[in-house]
Amino acid sequence: MPDTPLLSVRDLHTSFPLRSALLRRTVGQVQAVAGVSFDVPAGGTLGLVGESGSGKSTVARTIVGLEKARSGNILFEGEELTTLAPAAMRRVRRQLQMIFQDPYASLNPRATVEQIITEAWEIHPDVVPRKRFGAEARELLERVGLNPDHARRYPHQFSGGQRQRIGIARALALRPKLVICDEAVSALDVSVQAQVLNLLEDLRRDLGLAYLFIAHDLSVVRHISDQVAVMYLGRIVETASRDELFTRPLHPYTQALLSAVPDPKPWDRPPRRPIIIGGDVPSPADPPSGCRFRTRCWKAQDSCATTEPALEIRLERHPAACHFAADVAEVVGG
């Protein structure tokens, strides 16, 4: 089936028990992911954006099996992952790798770069024959822009950007089809960010990789994504192609996020008015009734408290979960 997405997530829910230290018992549930659906096509990139705490990492961790889904479906090449036995999950996990924000924390400080890369091949001996370990590790280092002669060095001997390249090499070692990048460039300086994003783009082109690219920073997501989904308090509130989302955001939350991003072509358009979102993010243990964004939304009306807006198709291929998504543009100024 050529049209089957590489990854398909449907109505995913993941929650954590909310414990009271005082009462020493569970007093509720944190609904970190509260009904999320999206597709990532083979060779494509979906950018998942939202403020800290919106549930992006939990989506990623649930996909790779680090958290358990409460309900919903995760289909990888059409195979359901939520009910997969551990041995079968290990087989699928090879195709599905993750790059984390902090390469320092995710790289073993006592292992050389070569050991970090070849560890995956020890566990999956059919990928690379042992006698080719050294040569293949050097090749991988070269592919991610590192000097292969540095294969015997330790992580602390590299800069932050170089360490993230090691993390990328490790993720590529098992020849995955999908790489989940969870805030993979957020800790890097802007110039280094651009280099790593270019590398990820080259790898996508050369190896046919797909990415689920998670970031709180819309300008980072803009560089790499074909499609963008915006998350707020455990739900996707808007999704569209990158160009559509950046030129015509429909959801007030997306409009506010975008108003804070510097316009790459300020000479082409009237200046954007910054939109300051009032109030704090509500607790995912006790989300507002109706629209989850209503407590911070300048468009909110009484109906927003009673009726939850569905993620409807307002424009072709551009769903936005807002009762007033139709009256766009006037706030953002085009």
Ligand X SMILES: Nc1ncnc2c1ncn2[C@@H]1O[C@H](COP(=O)(O)OP(=O)(O)OP(=O)(O)O)[C@@H](O)[C@H]1O
Residue 284 lies near ligand X (rule: CB under 6 A): yes
Among 166, 167, 180, smallest CA distance to 58 is for: 180
Total residues at interface with ligand X (CB under 6 A): 13
Q: Quote the least distance from Cβ 319 to ligand X, whole Å.
A: 20
Residue 57 lies near ligand X (rule: CB under 6 A): yes
Contact (CB, 8 A) for 257 and 331? no
Contact (CB, 8 A) for 54 and 283? no
Q: Quote the least distance from Cβ 279 to ligand X, whole Å.
A: 16
Q: Which one of residues 58, 62, 118, 295 is an interface residue with ligand X (CB under 6 A)? A: 58
Q: Quote the least distance from Cβ 55 to ligand X, whole Å.
A: 4
**Alpha-carbon distance 265 to 86, whole Å?**
49
Region near ligand X per CB under 6 A, out of 52-60, 112-120, 148-156, 157-165: 52-60
Residues 194-223 that bind ligand X (CB under 6 A): 216
Among 142, 161, 163, smallest CA distance to 153 is for: 163
Region near ligand X per CB under 6 A, out of 38-46, 53-61, 165-173, 245-253: 53-61
C-alpha 166: how far from chain center: 19
Q: Quote the least distance from Cβ 181 to ligand X, whole Å.
A: 12
Q: Which one of residues 53, 103, 167, 290 is an interface residue with ligand X (CB under 6 A)? A: 53
Residue 12 lies near ligand X (rule: CB under 6 A): no
Contact (CB, 8 A) for 98 and 167? no
Tell me whether residue 53 or residue 167 sits nearer to ligand X (CB atom).
53
Q: Which one of residues 12, 30, 137, 300 is an interface residue with ligand X (CB under 6 A)? A: 30
**Alpha-carbon distance 2 to 19, whole Å?**
46
Instruction: Give me 257's structure tokens.
Output: 């996020």
Tell me whether residue 216 or residue 223 sits nearer to ligand X (CB atom).
216
Please name the helix (run of DSSP H) or strand (run of DSSP E) that holds residue 38, with its range, or none.
Answer: strand 25-40
Residue 259 lies near ligand X (rule: CB under 6 A): no
- Sign of the torsion formed by the C-alpha atoms of 47, 48, 51 and 57: negative
**Alpha-carbon distance 253 to 265, whole Å?**
22
Q: Which parts of this chain interact with ligand X (CB under 6 A)?
A: 16, 30, 32, 50, 52-58, 216, 284
